[in-house]
Structure 1
């Protein structure tokens, strides 16, 4: 199950309630910006500017069959900068695949701004990388990591689609969907939700750090009794204060409530479970030694009513347990997470064309 496929299947409604906080003395969340196209990962630059990866709204085609629906190509992906409360798209015409409505897009999925001012952006796909052969030349940036400078040229730093096509890292079938990027010292680290893998990038190669394999979970009530395999679908990675990497799962079908995990990964060693009891996690961030996570659907994606957005939450992780404090609930389709100066910044309506935004949520 691809992360892109799950997200595409949710792009059916624009409804959603206002976010709610869980602490009586905590200020209410506030909207920072609206009007974004399928906003996903976000991060702060060293100077305090906030950058958001917008997966775009696809375009007029060509169109290809995806795992859940038909997706049409366009160059509507972007990186948006928020400076002093003002948002502007500073990188545009990146590739995007989306439904006819523009929702549930695959495209720019996460962004980091390096100390020298250059950027790295993961560009998702959620499909077999061979479908890129049916797209215009710009489609070759899908399933890749793109580097560049604001106002300058861009280049394909790493073709993760080609890597997945040759390596098929998890052995479950070739598909790829790079969804999250972080820096570990000077090396970019990426999770491929389609390939169920954690990868380290260098100038001339891709190194496999970990693979997240299927595990068995109870079948949903509408299926015959018994257990079925569920894919991990690792969707978020962040570097911890201890030098380890932390990886969170969206999970694949049946998206069982409470079955998503966060793993701690020390390069060269097998992943260990850091926290359990979560549902459809899409991003992670540390404040000091405290880890926070975003759940796309707090009750599990399979329990989202038809034609509505999933309602998710920002939670404070207690390692080694299944119980985690809710910082803010009732968030409409939340996805990305960045933290600064005691506040969390979360992208919302992450499957919406034109309806996405960023919310500021006090942590104290």
Structure 2
């Protein structure tokens, strides 16, 4: 069962303290306050989800590889990692899928690849947002060969990794936002429509490049006794891209939504987080019904890379929150200047049933995926743009030294109200 897939709805509500603030999660009487490291030595960890056994599913975008073109290097280093009993002091960490295509800097940083993964209703099977190695072109940044993949293990123990749907082809054919043809899938939400193990489920995919959430579902009209069904890809939700008549982006125009993250609540509503062009305060979370009707919206975030919900709260990862790094020679926003040597990032929490609810945050370095546990736990992938060994301090690194990719259990006992911060 899982708080991320629509059929489950079992994510336990946390105790509410001071209105919108969730309970501070103690790790034992003798444990210090603050976040607890659940897993480390991860390469660019991104989306978090749950599988049928209650294991935490971590999508690792990998660390690139040895084949390089200018500043981009690729290799089969992406993976899907499982964390068994993440609430315990010594969780078991294992690899469920490996060998996924990854593209990163020569030092393994800021990887693109298998950034999203979710379990299906078939035990041991996962759908993954990633790239097709046969269609990927290292020399062309937008020719990623974006695809949905399905991975698992047969009854005889043989592992498989198969194409699930061609997102690049869907973007080329449909181009829902009407702008550049670019597909860069970032998160997956598997939707199971019944209680049986069957192929009738479908996947929602947050595609940052296409500015669209795709719906990927099996097309049984194409199935025969000899071949499985093909998969139909349609635009479930789309945001328009800001483009000038000459085709260039308008830096002064409205920020693009850029969907990066997905979550679902116990009623089947879907929450989509957007990057907001990485502009301070211009990222949003939109709540949809299961059929794609917009229900609610929360604005004013910065660079959203993860969302999660429990019965009461909305949790939002701000990758560069509260202020993204600025290019050399430019001045950061005066209202929230970065602290020298401090790695940016926050996970924000608010009471999602209260109008204009107060927002609280804990500092989390460069966070991405967020997930809520059965007993009120909140997990986040941290240092999500770093390989396992971290990022060394240097002239090209605006943050200072950054730790290696990891997953933390968060502690909100030191959360601060955003209006009172700084």
TM-score range, shorter-chain basis?
0.7 to 0.9
Which residue of structure 1 lines up, in the alignment, with residue 136 of structure 2?
A: 132
80-89 or 298-307, larger mean C-alpha shift:
298-307
Per the alignment, residue 5 of structure 1 pairs with: none
**Are residue 346 (structure 1) and residue 369 (structure 2) matched?**
no
The answer to whether the 8 Å contact 1:179/1:191 transfers is: yes
Q: Which has the larger radius of gyration?
A: 2
Task: Give me the whole-angstrom Cα distance separating, in 1, the residues matched to 2:256 and 2:47.
Answer: 22
Whether the 8 Å contact between 2:270 and 2:289 is mirrored in structure 1 is yes
8 Å Cα contact 2:117-2:128 kept in structure 1: yes
Structure with greater strand share of residues: 1
What is the alpha-carbon distance in structure 2 between the residues aligned to residue 187 and residue 250 of structure 1? 24
User: Corresponding residue for 1:50?
Assistant: 56
Note if contact 2:44-2:62 (Cα within 8 Å) is conserved in structure 1: yes
Structure 1 residue 268 displacement after superposition = 5.6
- More displaced, 300-309 or 332-341? 300-309
* 1:48-127 matches, cutoff 5 A: 48-63=54-69, 70-84=71-85, 85-117=91-123, 118-123=125-130
Match of 2:181 in 1: 174
Is the CA contact (8 Å cut-off) linking 1:241 and 1:289 kept in structure 2?
no
Aligned counterpart, 1:231: 256
Paired with 2:24 and 2:372, the residues of 1 have a C-alpha distance of: 20
1:188 & 1:101 partners in 2: Cα distance? 33
- What displacement does 1:141 show? 8.4
Distance in 1 separating the partners of 2:117 and 2:100: 13
Q: Check the 8 A contact 1:56/1:353 in 2, yes or no.
A: yes
Report if the CA contact (8 A) 1:334-1:349 is conserved: yes
Alignment partner of 2:208 out of 186, 193, 196:
193
Superposed displacement of residue 301, structure 1: 1.8
Instruction: Determine helix, strand or coil for the equivalent of 1:227.
Output: coil
Alignment counterpart, residue 306 of structure 2, candidates 283, 304, 307: 283
Do 1:258 and 1:279's aligned partners in 2 also have CA atoms closer than 8 Å? yes
1:250 paired to 2:275: yes
Q: SS of the residue aligned with 2:276?
A: coil
Give the unaligned 5+ runs of structure 1: 1-21, 65-69, 217-225
Runs (4+) off by over 3 Å? 22-27, 266-273, 302-309, 317-324
Q: Residue in 1 aligned with 2:406?
A: 357
Alignment of 1:310 with 2:333, yes or no, is no
Q: When the two structures are superposed, what TM-score results if normalisation uses the length of structure 1?
A: 0.78
Matched, 1:37 2:60: no
Match of 1:14?
Answer: none
Output the TM-score relative to the length of structure 2.
0.68
Q: CA deviation at 1:76?
A: 0.5
SS at match of 1:162: helix
